[in-house]
Amino acid sequence: MKLPIALVLLLSSSSLSMAKSKAAFSSEKIFSIISINEIEQTAVLDLAEKPKFVYAEMLYQVITGKATLSVNGKTVSDLLKKSVSQSKYRDEGLELMGEDGWELAGTLAREINYGFEFFYYFKKQIN
């Protein structure tokens, strides 16, 4: 967890009484004082603001002229997997994934014997 870096302070016993204020000034240096509550609140905000994602993979494979679509992922519903696998074209599969809230994150294409494959990688925000 990243916390904001605070200026490390060396406070003498006489300046501890000023700890309630935000800044204490001396003739030599300026001291910045941050309470532990402010740091804890910042840490909670940082954790709350970071989105969490789940991922899925769709494979579009054409071998000897026959196209197949399939979706892999722990969080992909069985209904969506079935709908995508029954799609005739890859844009239908991509459209179904988008309608279910999945965002295309990357694509990989490769040639294989007697055909080719497209790997589509998706992410979906869960919080």
How far apart CA 25 and CA 75 sit, in angstroms, is 56
- What is the domain range of residue 80? 53-125
User: Does pLDDT of 62 surpass 60?
Assistant: yes
User: Does pLDDT of 100 surpass 80?
Assistant: yes
Residues 90 and 108 occupy one common structural domain = yes
User: Does pLDDT of 127 surpass 60?
Assistant: yes
Residues 98 and 44 occupy one common structural domain = no
Contacts of 63 (CB under 8 A, 6+ apart): 112, 113, 114, 115
Mean pLDDT of the residues in the chain: 77
Residues 68 and 115 occupy one common structural domain = yes
User: Does pLDDT of 75 surpass 90?
Assistant: yes
Residues 113 and 78 occupy one common structural domain = yes
> Quick one: pLDDT at residue 1?
43
Q: Tell me the per-residue pLDDT of 2-55, one tens digit each, with 9 for 90 and over.
A: 444 433 333 333 443 444 444 444 445 555 555 666 656 655 556 567 889 999
